[in-house]
Amino acid sequence: MRINLMSGPQELHDIQALARDTERAGFSGITFTEAGRTAYLSVAAAALATERLEFSTGIAVAFPRSPMITAGVAWELQDASRGRFRLGLGTQVRAHITRRYGAKFDPPGPRMRDYVSALRAIFRAFQGEEALNHRGPYYELTLLNPMWSPGPIDYPAPAIDIAAVGPYMLKMAGELCDGIHIHPLHSLKYLTDVVVPAVAEGAGRSGRDPAGVELLVPVLTIVGNSEEEKARSRAICRQQVAFYGSTPNYALQFDLLGFEGTTQRLRERQKAGDMAGMAEVISDEILQHYTVEASWDDIADRLVERYGERANRLIIYTAGMDYASEPSSIDRWGEVAKAVAG
């Protein structure tokens, strides 16, 4: 099992320092989220500063960028990183796509299916394996003159991973994709009862082995050698679970465990602007299903026990935050990463 640090995009010189420290500490890679800055530029900066570290976007928003734009950037990043890049894509939610980006969203599942198929066709055309001829329901791509193609590279086409929560996207990922970015808000019951069967069904449609579809799993950790240290970590995780859980599409996470109505209560407090009240909705009983808690000496063992047979790559959600406030924390997290990988 490989282990990544999660980071949001920052000033690019800072990203290079983070990447060098992350590589030195012993992590497998960095997963870059996308918010106010692009994940792609962060990958480029980090790749040029390191030799071994692997990189993924986790996730980059798909629909506002045409498949050709995304494919071109991913192709260059795979080349610049010498084959160390995975392309992680997500739909985001309707409001952001339509009101922030001014792009088309509906229907997100079938649109993402066509998007992934278009990327595969473009990659084959870039490598010179066939002429570009993708004719899908949402994207038609049939023109690629030599001067507009980046041309072949010495590495395989980037792996394509997608963010998937519900059955449709999980099945589609099992059928077409190289991996799945599991949502940070997940329980073991969700992984076992929802993710695994859906991926197996999707893989069966295309005659694939489900084991070939990698699960990339962000993990919320509550770590400390004192109750005070754990309390600070617990507060961050509680707020994150409340934030994610307020999204209607993620209500199934709570319902699956018998905590029906949790998302509705979170949304009521969110609409009232009561952020503290949102966190209060997430009881310790709820929180334990979505976090891994341990001392620093024991956290690696707890991660392996929980995910050793369920994940291909763990992504430590708060390690990047810890580094931003205390750069020396990378060494402690690096020991965890090496223990998990070992």
Query: Residues 273, 249: one domain?
Result: yes
Residue where a domain stops, chosen among 266, 290, 314: 290
Mean pLDDT within 258-280:
96
Local confidence band at 36 (pLDDT 50, 70, 90 cut-offs): confident
Query: Residues 257, 270: one domain?
Result: yes
Residue 104 carries which side chain, given as an amino acid letter? K
* DSSP-derived 3-state class of residue 156: coil
Query: Residues 301, 248: one domain?
Result: no
Query: Residues 168, 238: one domain?
Result: no
For the chain, the first-to-last Cα distance in angstroms comes to 8
Query: Residues 76, 202: one domain?
Result: yes
Take residue 9 and report the two structure tokens written for it: 């995009």
Query: Residues 283, 308: one domain?
Result: no
Per the DSSP assignment, residues forming a β-bridge with 217 are 314
Local confidence band at 8 (pLDDT 50, 70, 90 cut-offs): confident
Would the pLDDT of 73 be above 90?
Answer: yes
Share of the chain above pLDDT 70, in %: 100
Mean pLDDT within 268-284:
96
Query: Residues 136, 268: one domain?
Result: no
Query: For the chain, how many residues are written?
Result: 342
Interatomic CA distance for residues 291 and 82, integer angstroms: 34
Would the pLDDT of 9 be above 90?
Answer: no
Residue where a domain stops, chosen among 270, 290, 310: 290
Query: Residues 58, 175: one domain?
Result: yes
pLDDT tens string 122-181: 999 999 999 999 999 999 999 999 999 999 999 999 999 999 999 999 999 999 999 999
Take residue 124 and report the two structure tokens written for it: 């084959």
Instruction: Give the chain's domain count.
Output: 2
Interatomic CA distance for residues 43 and 78, integer angstroms: 10
At 342 the pLDDT is 85
Would the pLDDT of 121 be above 90?
Answer: yes
Query: Residues 46, 71: one domain?
Result: yes
pLDDT tens string 183-239: 999 999 999 999 999 999 999 999 999 999 999 999 999 999 999 999 999 999 999
pLDDT tens string 85-97: 999 999 999 999 9
Query: 69 is in which domain, residue-wise?
Result: 2-226+291-341
Give the list of residues 6+ apart from residue 170 with CB closer than 8 angstroms, or none: 164, 180, 194, 195, 198, 199, 202
Local confidence band at 324 (pLDDT 50, 70, 90 cut-offs): very high
Interatomic CA distance for residues 206 and 202, integer angstroms: 7
Please, are residues 311 and 1 in contact by the beta-carbon 8 Å criterion?
A: yes
Would the pLDDT of 267 be above 90?
Answer: yes
Mean pLDDT within 304-312:
95
Mean pLDDT within 86-115:
97
Query: Residues 185, 322: one domain?
Result: yes
CA dihedral angle for residue 233, residue 237, residue 243, residue 246, rounded to 10 degrees: -150
Question: Taking the model in full, what pTM does it have?
Answer: 0.95
Query: Residues 16, 161: one domain?
Result: yes
Residue 76 carries which side chain, given as an amino acid letter? E
Q: Which helix (H) or strand (E) holds 316?
A: strand 313-316
Local confidence band at 3 (pLDDT 50, 70, 90 cut-offs): very high
CATH value at residue 23: 3.20.20.30
Query: Residues 156, 240: one domain?
Result: no
